[in-house]
Amino acid sequence: MKIVKIDHLAIATTGIDDTKGVWSDILGLEFEGAETVEEQKVTTAFFPVGESEIELLESTDPEGPVAKFVEKKGPGIHHIGFQVENIEAALAELKEKGVKLIDETPRIGAGGKKIAFLHPKATKGVLIELCEK
Ligand code: CMX
């Protein structure tokens, strides 16, 4: 599996409007825009940093996974997104190694990217997303 770069670091928030000042006003990052990924019950907002991005997550539903995460752990780092060269090949390789996956086949995330999550049990508690542009 070839990891190209850290694509994004995702932060679960209580609300993008409440939180975006931290990234734009305090740190001076540029707000690139927001996008709702309805299938995952989440709105995403991006702040580019070099070749990577900070991705803020806001749940669109009180029962959604991001709302549940914030309820349980509070706002904070939610997942790391790694860009890979070939996501299907990466997933096949991980499956072959016996790594527990949340997504065995990619789904579509923000920006139309192909994405897939590894199970946090396989990675000692860190949620890892693979993505391919
Ligand atoms: N960090 C660590 N552990 C996490 C976690 C996180 N961020 N999110 C979930 N988990 C744990 C859960 O607590 C659960 O553990 P147990 O089995 O011990 O209870 C386990 O992982 C499975 O979680 P789940 O929510 O029950 O499983 P689902 O298959 O329903 O969903 C996931 C998994 C990761 C897809 C979902 O929790 C989630 O976070 N969805 C939002 C995805 C997202 O951020 N999308 C944004 C757009 C993507 C993009 O383009 O970047």
* Percentage with pLDDT > 90 across the chain: 98
Q: Residue 42 contacts by C-beta under 8 Å, 6 or more apart in sequence? A: 36, 57, 58, 59, 60, 64, 65, 66
Going by CA atoms, what residue is nearest to atom 29 of ligand 1?
102
**Band of pLDDT at residue 127, cut at 50, 70 and 90:** very high
- Neighbour tally for 18: CB within 10 Å: 12
The predicted structure's pLDDT at residue 25: 96
Q: How far is the CA of 47 from the centre of ligand 1 (A)?
A: 22
pLDDT of residue 13: 98
Structure tokens belonging to residue 69 = 């995460």
Q: How far is the CA of 65 from the centre of ligand 1 (A)?
A: 6
Q: How far apart are the first and last CA of the chain?
A: 16
Which residue's entry shows tokens 């996501």?
Answer: 87
Report the DSSP pairing between strands 33-37 and 107-108: unpaired
pLDDT computed for residue 31 by the predictor: 97
Ligand 1 pocket mutation pick from 59, 78, 80 by most atoms within 8 angstroms of CB? 78
Question: Which residue in 47, 54, 40 sits closest to 8, CA to CA?
Answer: 54
State the distance from the centre of ligand 1 to the C-alpha of 4, rounded, in angstroms. 23
> Which contacts of 34-39 are long-range, i.e. CB under 8 A and separated by 24 or more positions?
35/110, 35/111, 36/60, 37/108, 37/109, 37/110, 39/107, 39/108
Using CA atoms, how far apart are residues 64 and 71, in angstroms rounded to an integer? Answer: 11
Ligand 1 atom 16, closest CA: 121
Mean pLDDT of 63-92: 98
pLDDT for position 12: 98
pLDDT tens-place string over residues 23-65: 999 999 999 999 999 999 999 999 999 999 999 999 999 999 9
Domain range annotation of the chain: 3-132
Asked: is 3-132 a CATH 3.10.180.10 domain? The reply is yes
